[in-house]
Chains A and B, each alone.
Chain A
Amino acid sequence: MKYLRIEPRRPKVGIFDFTSCEGCELQLVNHEESLADFLACVEIVNFREASAARDDTYDIALVEGSISRADEVERLKSIRAKAKTLVAFGSCACFGGVNRLKNACDLVAANREVYGAHPKETLPVRAVKEIVPVDLEIPGCPVNKPEVERIVQHLMMDLPFQLPVYPVCVECKQRFTTCLYERGELCLGAISRAGCDAPCPAGGLGCWGCRGPALDANVEAFRSMVRERGFSQRELDERMSFFGGFEVRS
């Protein structure tokens, strides 16, 4: 396989899950029509969800999930030590994801609520980059497979990849979706990072910011706009906290 007479690298990729629903990993085996070609691009070592094979030498580590236990911290550090490129794979890994909701609770009470009489050892949720340096972030809950494919292609050719930095509204308009605010509904599109192709406003749900904030998002002006439109602080805070990407003062 050559591209413009250049032989792309076929990197060894290890896939590792931490605190997560494993939905992002599942996306890797999604998009069946291109799955065989995708698998020809990379040599997958260490993919618990799809195969039992294990190999501890890899160029790229795709790290899924947030970090919420002491043993996870140690495992993450040893992966970092081996990987040339460490990718925070999905929103949990990038900024904590839905798991981050836990940080707003009393940890002991939360533990009791979930595990009852058999509490587990747990820490406040952290993003991967809060523990080890991250080379690349692929946000999304879950990640968007076509975007993952593009990023993998860039890694194979050793080219830098630029995620969109602008907000979801651009992609939302480009698919002719009637703005949720026209319907009197809340949407975080104007402060959320694009790249997903705005499926949620199109589906009538509004954006929940699953990819985190757009670069330099104007959260302050956004908050006053939402307030002026009659949404409550609480409703907005709830939505902004959902995927863990925004700083919400509580």
Chain B
Amino acid sequence: MLFRTLAKAEFRKLVELLLAANEVVGPKRVGTNVRGEPLHQFLPVSAFDELALDYANTEFPPKTYFLPYREDLCSYRFGDDDWTQDIRYQVHPRVIVGMHACDINGLVKLDKVFTRDTFPSPYYLSRRKNTLIIGIDHLPGPKCFCRSVGADLVERGFDLFLSDLDTRYFVAIGSDRGFGLLQRVDAKAITDEDRADYLALRHRIADAFETHVDVQNLPSLLDIEFESKLWKKWGDKCLSCGACAMVCPTCYCYGVHERVSIDFRCGAKVKQLHSCNLLDFAMVAGNHNFRPTRESRLKYRYYHQHRGFVEAYDEPNCVGCNRCGHACLVGINPPDVIADLQAEERR
């Protein structure tokens, strides 16, 4: 990977160049919670100063710019005796500034699902290819556990990635596009001092994690604990509300339904993100439900993320952002659930 440094004023210039020609999305402050902490969401910005690059986490993951909660897959017009179909993959180019490593790694996982398998998704691909990503490092919050799941560092999936060295940014270049972009501002070759400062920052970040999850051998532990009573304990708490999957940067399950205009002249296939925690997720013809109980649904969320996905892609489908844990009203979160299973195994 190539590295450069960028003075802060130059970075501002870079964003302003991008703003002049593209939609730019970034972390924006949207309010304050009851504990006085700021709330942030990824939203379109119109000026550099609207970006809150020092945000801790966002309420919703940036995945919604690639996998929207709802989208029309295709639309139809019906004539008296025929019909036409309209499918649009084209999207406007977009820039996302300020994605943290976990969220970029979330996209890298989604890439595996939506671009590599037998049926790549043209919808996902067009958004992914037309989105320029500038990521940024941050000191982990008390509940972040991205390091435990190997998602605290990014190697791919972005165009530029910034680390804040106080007076300047240390910039990792992740693509030709990112390289080209740096040509338009005054980016400097890195010095020994830059390298030393960057490494010191990396250590500072690594040492700042307070939450650790042991995911070594987790798939086999999950196999052994399939019948564990603990699933009932956690399942009894679960509200089956789906909030966890909605805010998760890697969950990708969806349903498709049809919408037909009331004059029966037009229609659309609508895709809507869904969640394995929801009661009707595994409902099939004849009203049979493969996962009728809360515990079975909650369990499968953990099995998909930490066992099934590992089997398919050699890594968990979790980047340790703890958005699910934060959004869950009853406090179900991966570090506690996994620690509970591990403690059970040792008992």
Contacts and interface: CB of A to CB of B under 8 A. Distances in A.
Most buried by B among A8, A152, A162: A162
Interface string A162-190: 10111101100110101101111000011
Nearest to B277: A166
Given A3-B260, A40-B263, A169-B242, A190 B280 contact: no
Interface residues of B, number: 42
Interface string B20-39: 00000000001101100001
B330 A38 contact: no
Given A165-B279, A181-B329, A173 B243 contact: yes
B290 interface: no
B278 A225 contact: no
Contact of B241 (A1, A183, A190): A190
A41 B262 CA distance: 8
Candidate in A170, A176, A215 with the most chain B CB atoms within 10 angstroms: A170
A191 interface: yes
Main secondary structure of the interface of B (DSSP, over half): loop
Interface string B228-254: 000000001111111100110000000
A105 to B, nearest CB: 31
Contacts of B83: 4
Interface string A1-31: 1111100100000000000000000000000
A218 interface: yes
Interface in B250-266: 259-264
B262 to A, nearest CB: 5
Interface size class of A (residues with CB under 8 A): 35 or more
Contacts of A217: 239
A214 B247 CA distance: 20
A140 to B, nearest CB: 18
A121 interface: no
B83 to A, nearest CB: 8
A179 to B, nearest CB: 7
Interface string B263-304: 110000000111100111000000000000010000000000
Contact of B240 (A162, A216, A225): A216
Contacts of A164: 280
B279 A170 contact: no
B80 interface: yes
Interface string A214-241: 1111100110010000000000000000
A162 B241 CA distance: 18
Given A216-B279, A221-B236, A225-B329, A173 B60 contact: yes
A218 B280 contact: no
B151 interface: no
10 contacts: A3-B264, A37-B263, A165-B278, A169-B239, A173-B246, A178-B30, A178-B33, A182-B59, A184-B34, A214-B279
Interface of B: 30-31, 33-34, 39, 41, 59-60, 64, 69-70, 78, 80-81, 83, 236-243, 246-247, 259-264, 272-275, 278-280, 294, 327, 329-330
The 4 closest A-B pairs by CB, nearest first: A184-B34, A173-B246, A174-B69, A169-B241
Given A8-B264, A173-B69, 13 more contacts: A37-B261, A153-B262, A169-B242, A170-B243, A174-B70, A176-B59, A178-B31, A178-B39, A184-B33, A190-B243, A214-B279, A218-B236, A221-B236
